Chains A and B, each alone.
Chain A
Amino acid sequence: DGGITQSPKYLFRKEGQNVTLSCEQNLNHDAMYWYRQDPGQGLRLIYYSQIVNDFQKGDIAEGYSVSREKKESFPLTVTSAQKNPTAFYLCASTRSGVGFYQPQHFGDGTRLSIL
């Protein structure tokens, strides 16, 4: 079955440490997204990529970095500069790089906590 796989499901970060969250899709989708979800809140866009080797900052990109070297993969690094990283991180994709009229397909998330 096609879908989006996020790993790990749970991740713990020590002070000063960078951690990388994995997102892989086999839907042959061009566009991929990273969102952050805090308790009781909606999703906030961190980064998005419309095509391989290209990505743009979303609303809360500070303290995060991404790469898009392959169509299937869009890893997110939470750097030590992100002072409040505890949250639920969701990866999503859409068929093409144009956002209108397109449902987003989501992975099952990674929950990141501070040790």
Chain B
Amino acid sequence: SQQGEEDPQALSIQEGENATMNCSYKTSINNLQWYRQNSGRGLVHLILIRSNEREKHSGRLRVTLDTSKKSSSLLITASRAADTASYFCATDDTGGFKTIFGAGTRLFVKA
């Protein structure tokens, strides 16, 4: 069952602009993660935010979590062409063991 759903499905911006991607989920979570996938490659973990955290930073990445709205956002500041990739949110299956991935946002950064 799909838990996280990203929005938008695709995003095209100019280099230097900020990119914002959103993730909504249906049931309570313990944590939410964001991953990046370059074309034809595996996923790379970017950041994990726990349900008792509201915001987390890592370099040019800023993640927020609003558990009352069951949503999270990933902001990439000052984007670069190398940020072109698909970005996935993933939530844990509470009461279980599985991590559930959304369908992803495809980001294209034009140089």
Given contacts A103-B48, A108-B41, contact A42 B104 (CB under 8 A): yes
Query: Chain B residues with Cβ under 8 A from A100's Cβ?
Result: 30-31, 92
Whether A42 pairs with B44 at a CB distance below 8 angstroms is no
Q: How far is the CA of A92 from the CA of B48 in the complex (A)?
A: 17
Q: CB distance A99 to B92 under 8 Å?
A: yes
Complex CA gap A90/B44 in Å reads: 12
> Chain B contact residues (Cβ within 8 angstroms of A): what range?
20 to 34
A99–B97 CB distance below 8 A? yes
Question: Which residues from 39 to 98 on chain B have a C-beta closer than 8 Å to any C-beta of chain A?
Answer: 40-45, 48, 50, 88, 92-93, 96-98
Choice from A43, A101, A104 contacting B50 with Cβ under 8 Å: A101
- Contact (Cβ within 8 A) B30 A106: no
> Which residue in chain A gives the minimum CB-CB distance to B98?
A45
Q: Are A104 and B30 in contact, CB atoms less than 8 angstroms apart?
A: no
B97 touches A48 (CB 8 A): yes
In the assembled complex, the CB of B76 is this many whole angstroms from the nearest CB of chain A, namely: 18
Contact in complex: A50, B97 (CB < 8 Å): yes
A13 within 8 A of B: no
B4 (CB) vs chain A CBs: closest residue: A42
Instruction: Report if B24 contacts A (CB, 8 A).
Output: no
Q: How far is the CA of A19 from the CA of B81 in the complex (A)?
A: 37
**Considering only CB atoms, which chain B residue lies closest to A43 in the complex?**
B101
The answer on a CB contact under 8 Å between B101 and A103 is no
Flag if A106 contacts B103 (CB, 8 Å): no
> Which residues of chain A from 30 to 79 have any CB-CB distance to chain B below 8 Å in the complex?
35, 40-43, 45, 48, 50, 58-59
- Interface assignment of B14: CB less than 8 Å from any CB of chain A: no
Q: Is A103 in contact with B98, judged by CB distance below 8 angstroms?
A: no
Bound CA–CA A40/B88 (angstroms): 11
B window 1-59: CB within 8 A of A: 1-2, 4, 9, 30-31, 33, 35, 40-45, 48, 50
Write 16 A-B pairs (CB below 8 A) sorted by A numbering: A6-B42, A40-B104, A42-B103, A43-B43, A45-B98, A59-B98, A92-B43, A99-B92, A99-B96, A100-B31, A101-B31, A101-B50, A103-B33, A103-B48, A106-B43, A109-B41
